């Protein structure tokens, strides 16, 4: 079987009842987990946070950036997803005292850019049931006032990501009597275990869409490629140092060493020479 590439599909049913977004994020999350050497429960949770963030972006504002910050239960670690309009996503995990524990007590914050440059923020607690799929459902309802069914999952085979992806079925506010009960019943019966569903179809967004629609007439609104992509560069690393005080920079310069800075997201190492540091002093 030819392997698929990471993609998203957004479709609407012809009756105007639902908008459906499906995504395959297998390669995106594989690359991200590899960069962090992450495995176990934290790896699955980070994969789910990235996938959910991609879904929120595609559903609410495909042309703008969305970030999610998840704090583990009992202060155990943080997971971050950063998803951009070009389809590129990156993530990071900070584990403290063991794997990032997700459930009641862990808070999920979603930050979505608005067209005027301001940030829309929503903070929800991860519910008892349905894990991060449930957290994104609560976020959509409470912060975006959109009733939806969300599934995010990551099927692992040992350390390897077998299939990752998800779906969001949104209720369209224009539809007076949407067949909600039938949808919920179908989703509960056939889509209650996201990892198993994704494993069964290699997270193919078209197959997921067809499985959700079951023959209901629909039209594709948009499709796009997804991938793991960091935004770091030597210039950005240097400009991040611009917040250092003159005294701090002079201190580093006095030691005469080349500074090594590693990107938190992709672990790429950057070397900052004393010359370029001195340039910062000249600017400030
Ligand atoms: Zn980076």
Sign of CA dihedral 35, 40, 41, 45: positive
Give SS3 for 83.
strand
- pLDDT score of 284 more than 70: no
Shared-domain flag, residues 113 and 146? yes
- pLDDT score of 1 more than 70: no
Task: Write down the mean pLDDT value for the chain.
Answer: 92
What CATH code is carried by the domain that includes residue 89? 3.55.30.10
Q: How much distance in Å is there from the Cα of 100 to the middle of ligand 1? A: 22
Residue 266 DSSP label: T
pLDDT in tens, 198-220: 999 999 999 999 999 999 999 99
In a domain, 1, yes or no: no
Of residues 193 and 253, which shows the higher confidence score?
193
- Strand stretches in 126-200, DSSP E: 148-157, 160-171
The whole-angstrom separation of Cα 124 and Cα 17 is 26
Shared-domain flag, residues 162 and 251? no
Shared-domain flag, residues 138 and 270? no
pLDDT bucket at 122, cuts 50 / 70 / 90: very high
Average pLDDT over residues 100-121: 93
Q: How much distance in Å is there from the Cα of 266 to the middle of ligand 1? A: 4
The whole-angstrom separation of Cα 176 and Cα 234 is 53
Report the DSSP pairing between strands 88-94 and 227-228.
parallel
Shared-domain flag, residues 174 and 240? no
Average pLDDT over residues 51-65: 96
Total structural domains in the chain?
2
Shared-domain flag, residues 80 and 216? yes
pTM: 0.92
The whole-angstrom separation of Cα 51 and Cα 48 is 5
**Nearest C-alpha neighbor of 150 from the set 11, 42, 20:** 20
Q: How much distance in Å is there from the Cα of 182 to the middle of ligand 1? A: 44
The whole-angstrom separation of Cα 17 and Cα 184 is 13
Q: How much distance in Å is there from the Cα of 144 to the middle of ligand 1? A: 30
Shared-domain flag, residues 206 and 263? no
Domain end residue (candidates: 228, 251, 269): 228
- pLDDT score of 252 more than 90: no
Shared-domain flag, residues 152 and 248? no
**Nearest C-alpha neighbor of 1 from the set 169, 152, 203, 268:** 203
Q: How much distance in Å is there from the Cα of 210 to the middle of ligand 1? A: 36
What CATH code is carried by the domain that includes residue 266? 3.90.1280.10
**Nearest C-alpha neighbor of 56 from the set 160, 185, 143, 184:** 143
pLDDT of residue 283: 62
Report the DSSP pairing between strands 66-71 and 18-24.
unpaired
Domain end residue (candidates: 210, 228, 246): 228
Q: How much distance in Å is there from the Cα of 81 to the middle of ligand 1? A: 13
pLDDT of residue 245: 84
| Domain span at 210 | 7-228
């Amino acid at each position: 079987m030819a392997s698929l590439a990471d993609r998203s599909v957004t479709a609407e049913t012809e009756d105007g009842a639902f908008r459906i977004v499906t995504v395959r994020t297998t390669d995106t999350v594989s690359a991200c987990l590899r960069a962090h050497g992450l495995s176990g429960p934290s790896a699955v949770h980070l994969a789910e946070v990235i996938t959910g963030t991609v879904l929120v972006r595609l559903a609410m504002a495909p042309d703008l950036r969305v970030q999610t910050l998840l704090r583990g239960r009992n202060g155990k670690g943080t997971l971050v997803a950063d998803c951009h309009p070009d389809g590129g996503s990156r993530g990071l995990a900070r584990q403290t005292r063991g794997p990032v524990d997700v459930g009641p007590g862990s808070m999920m914050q979603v930050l979505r850019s608005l067209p005027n440059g301001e940030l829309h923020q929503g903070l929800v607690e991860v519910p008892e049931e349905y894990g991060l799929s449930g957290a994104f459902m609560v976020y959509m309802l409470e912060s975006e006032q959109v009733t939806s069914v969300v599934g995010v999952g990551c099927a692992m085979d040992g350390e390897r990501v077998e299939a990752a992806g998800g779906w969001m079925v949104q209720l369209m506010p224009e539809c007076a009597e949407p067949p909600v009960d039938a949808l919920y019943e179908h989703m509960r019966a056939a889509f209650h275990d996201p990892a198993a569903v994704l494993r069964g179809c290699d997270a193919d967004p078209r197959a997921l869409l067809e499985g959700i629609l079951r023959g209901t007439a629909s039209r594709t609104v948009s499709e796009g490629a997804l991938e793991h992509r960091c935004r770091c560069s030597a210039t950005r690393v240097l400009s991040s140092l611009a917040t250092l005080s003159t005294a701090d920079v002079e201190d580093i310069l006095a030691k005469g060493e080349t500074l090594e800075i590693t990107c938190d997201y992709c672990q790429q190492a950057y070397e900052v020479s004393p010359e370029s540091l001195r340039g910062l002093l000249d600017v400030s």
